[in-house]
Structure 1
Amino acid sequence: MLIPSPLRFEKVSAKKVSDFIREQLEEAIILKELLSEEQLPTERELAEIFNASRITVREALSQLESKGLIEKRVGAKGGTFVLPVTANSHKRTRAEIAQDWEHMLKVFEYRMIVEPEAAFLAAARITADELDLLQHYLDQSIEADCTREWFRALDVKFHLAIAKASGNPLCEAAVRQIRTQINPALDLMPYDNQIRTVNYDVHTEILSALRARDAEKSREIMRHHIGHSADAIYARLVAKG
């Protein structure tokens, strides 16, 4: 009698080089590392960066363009430019978020494990420069002329900076992966002065706990913040639908 093997292997899946390039550029755009209206390098330059052909790069850019993430412009000031993700959030509808909600819940469960522990570690390891950087992000987020797109970018930067301050590159990589998956949902959330104020207040609490080197409090506030974020997304994008 054959005994079921405990080993679980995935079937071989040959990924196209263009998909590999597209995924990296898409992640950079979703994580706001490539900002709205920022011009991408030329096809020739991208081909050199990725060590790929220009045809392959062009295919990757075409996929990003179809998703509404970039736009090719002609003329003297032409080129390929990043579009505001929040301005094109209609391309990922509430129905899609609701349909993927079971997966999104698992992402939030994973986030609830990773980010509070990253904050716990950061409380002991964060540097003065990193604390100043977090404060800089907070100050910008509450300015009157802070746009929706820049507000979302600052939120991502704040959380990624804490993950980096944990001193554990695996935590940082995990938070990048998490934010890449949840940002499309967050980009569908409303934006007004009340949202900005609430976000500023809770981020200030986290930063204060980090400054005080209070690991337990840093972890607890981050856990509460993440739980509230998941509830808000569900109420706005799933329950309403």
Structure 2
Amino acid sequence: MRTYFPQQFEKVSPKKVSDFIFDQLEESIILKELLPEEQLPNERDMAVMFNASRLAVREALSRLEEEGLIEKRVGAKGGTFVLPLTLNSHHRHREQIASNWESWSKVFEYRLIIEPEAAFLAAQHIQAEQLHQLQQYLEMSIEQDCSRELFRALDVKFHLMIAKASDNAYFEKAVREIRTKINPALDLMPYSQEVRVRNSDSHFELLDVLRAHDGERSRILMRQHIEQSASSIYHRVFDHDIRTQEKESESL
């Protein structure tokens, strides 16, 4: 009897050890688990951490440097340091996002399914210490001296914690994947007191319904929050007036 194999098998592509190291470090930087100016361990220590050769670590670090994610510095205070992602994100990503908007739209569609359902489950399973951690993230985000990079990092932590609180590892993994993909676009967003207040108000409202264990309301608020985020990104990428104003300010 003849066996018919599916036609959608992917072809095997070799992946080097350095690629695995690069992927993990890139994800940690994009998700802001490694913050700007944070110094990475030296090559020898990283080789032990990843159970890999120093050559593989060196290759991964070279790729990260090419991507503008890290910087190697020499001197008494030298080493390898994480660079701020938001500082020049509009130069790095706007045209990339615009030229590949169809693909980005698919990610936003996926997010609209995953994160509201994660919030629904989180309302049922969230623990007291997780609620306390979410409260701390929000309080830090409204401090006057909260930098743009820290604000963006706290936003990521807030969403990842809700996914973790869903008590479903699949949702948690999915949200990590989503945030890794969309963070470059979110880093395009302006940073001002108005933005901080709007975002914080939305997060505080969501925290209140999570604390009340209101799953349906948590789902609705998360969906509204994500829809607003996607709309803001779209206008940031394609609005001609916004782009003109930014170019004018850069030339001053």
- Identify the TM-score tier after normalising by the shorter chain: over 0.9
One-letter amino acid of the structure 1 residue matched with residue 201 of structure 2: D
Query: CA–CA distance in 2 between the matches of 1:91 and 1:194?
Result: 23
The answer to whether the 8 A contact 1:27-1:180 is kept is yes
1:46 aligns with 2:46: yes
Q: What is residue 35 of structure 1 aligned with on the other side? A: 35
Give the CA deviation at 1:90.
Answer: 4.2
One-letter amino acid of the structure 2 residue matched with residue 226 of structure 1: I
Give the CA deviation at 1:52.
Answer: 1.3
One-letter amino acid of the structure 2 residue matched with residue 236 of structure 1: R
Q: What is residue 229 of structure 1 aligned with on the other side? A: 229
The answer to whether the 8 A contact 2:93-2:185 is kept is no
Which secondary structure does the structure 1 equivalent of 2:87 belong to? helix
Give the CA deviation at 1:238.
Answer: 2.6
Which secondary structure does the structure 2 equivalent of 1:11 belong to? coil
The answer to whether the 8 A contact 1:68-1:88 is kept is no
Aligned identity (percent) is: 65
The TM-score with structure 2 as length reference comes to 0.92
CA displacement, residues 133-157 of structure 1 (integer Å, 9 cap, x when unaligned): 0000000111110100000000000
Aligned-residue CA RMSD (Å): 1.6
Q: How many residues align?
A: 240
One-letter amino acid of the structure 2 residue matched with residue 192 of structure 1: S
Which 4+ runs in 1 deviate beyond 3 A? 2-7
Which secondary structure does the structure 1 equivalent of 2:144 belong to? coil
Q: How does 1:75-94 map to 2 (within 5 A)?
A: 75-94=75-94
Q: What is residue 197 of structure 1 aligned with on the other side? A: 197
The answer to whether the 8 A contact 1:31-1:179 is kept is yes
Query: CA–CA distance in 2 between the matches of 1:25 and 1:204?
Result: 31
Query: CA–CA distance in 1 between the matches of 2:24 and 2:165?
Result: 23
Give the CA deviation at 1:88.
Answer: 3.4
Q: What is residue 129 of structure 1 aligned with on the other side? A: 129
Which secondary structure does the structure 1 equivalent of 2:88 belong to? helix
Q: What is residue 74 of structure 1 aligned with on the other side? A: 74
Query: CA–CA distance in 2 between the matches of 1:90 and 1:75?
Result: 31
Give the CA deviation at 1:3.
Answer: 11
Q: What is residue 145 of structure 2 aligned with on the other side? A: 145
CA displacement, residues 182-211 of structure 1 (integer Å, 9 cap, x when unaligned): 000111111100000000000011000101
1:160 aligns with 2:154: no
Structure 1 residue ranges without an equivalent (≥5): none
Q: What is residue 248 of structure 2 aligned with on the other side? A: none
CA displacement, residues 18-61 of structure 1 (integer Å, 9 cap, x when unaligned): 11111110000000000111110110011111111111111110
Q: What is residue 106 of structure 1 aligned with on the other side? A: 106
CA displacement, residues 205-233 of structure 1 (integer Å, 9 cap, x when unaligned): 10001011100000000000001100100
Query: CA–CA distance in 2 between the matches of 1:66 and 1:189?
Result: 24
The answer to whether the 8 A contact 2:42-2:79 is kept is yes
The answer to whether the 8 A contact 1:67-1:91 is kept is no
Structure 2 residue ranges without an equivalent (≥5): 244-252
Q: What is residue 217 of structure 1 aligned with on the other side? A: 217
Query: CA–CA distance in 1 between the matches of 2:116 and 2:209?
Result: 12
